[in-house]
Chain A
């Protein structure tokens, strides 16, 4: 158990819908990262937040957005869902935002878009 929690574990929805994925980092960790894992693209970095501020953006679609709240939990919002958005979405957290900090991964949310 990494100490990072993600809810829900599974999500099944239809095209065009909007969903919210939630992540609670390990106690004391200030950074939250979101990754998408799919068969086509592998593991792709989406976005990084540090202490409530956006730090880096990766291959995140405009239909996707994220935020980190004052209690440091984070939410990833996916809208106008398409079949290709079906994937495993991981959240990771680290103590700070240093490159050498270990990123601890949550168990993931499996999103299925029908």
Chain B
């Protein structure tokens, strides 16, 4: 079965500091990986996704993530945090396997707080 683990349900950083949100997945087949952001009282918005090709993926709002197959990880980073980055972030995976086709498996989310 597929699963996604996000280490740290809460992460706090100062404005201007590096943001690092961790995501590890388990999958017996090559996964497609996604990061979504959820602002209060809103739906999820795609930040970036990895499908094939370059393992370093750039997304919106200055975020990027690197797919590391050997570590089964897809950590999200941003060099310099802004106050507007405060939100909940979800890592998700989809795999090509029978009845699970097309569904996203989500991690439990990481709440990012940015201090001034």
Instruction: Give the interface of A toward B (CB within 8 A).
Output: 2, 4, 31, 33, 35, 42-45, 48, 50, 55-58, 90, 92, 97-100, 102-108
Contacts and interface: CB of A to CB of B under 8 A. Distances in A.
B116 interface: no
Nearest to B99: A56
A99 B101 contact: yes
B8 to A, nearest CB: 15
B45 A105 contact: yes
A56 B103 contact: yes
A106 B108 CA distance: 19
B49 A102 contact: yes
Contact of B101 (A55, A102, A108): A55
Contacts of B95: 99
A56 B104 contact: no
A92 B103 CA distance: 11
25 contacts: A33-B103, A33-B104, A35-B104, A42-B108, A43-B92, A43-B104, A44-B106, A45-B103, A50-B102, A55-B101, A58-B103, A90-B43, A92-B44, A97-B102, A98-B102, A99-B51, A99-B95, A99-B101, A99-B102, A100-B51, A102-B49, A103-B104, A105-B44, A107-B41, A107-B43
Determine the main DSSP class of A at the interface with B. Answer: strand
B83 interface: no
Rank and list the top 8 A-B pairs by shortest CB-CB distance, nearest first: A105-B43, A43-B106, A45-B103, A105-B44, A100-B51, A107-B43, A42-B108, A99-B94
A98 B94 CA distance: 10
Contacts of A50: 102
Contacts of B42: 107
Contacts of A99: 32, 51, 94-96, 101-102
A58 to B, nearest CB: 6
A48 B43 contact: no
A55 B99 CA distance: 8
Given A2-B43, A90-B44, A100 B101 contact: no
Contacts of A44: 106
A56 B90 contact: no
A100 B49 contact: yes
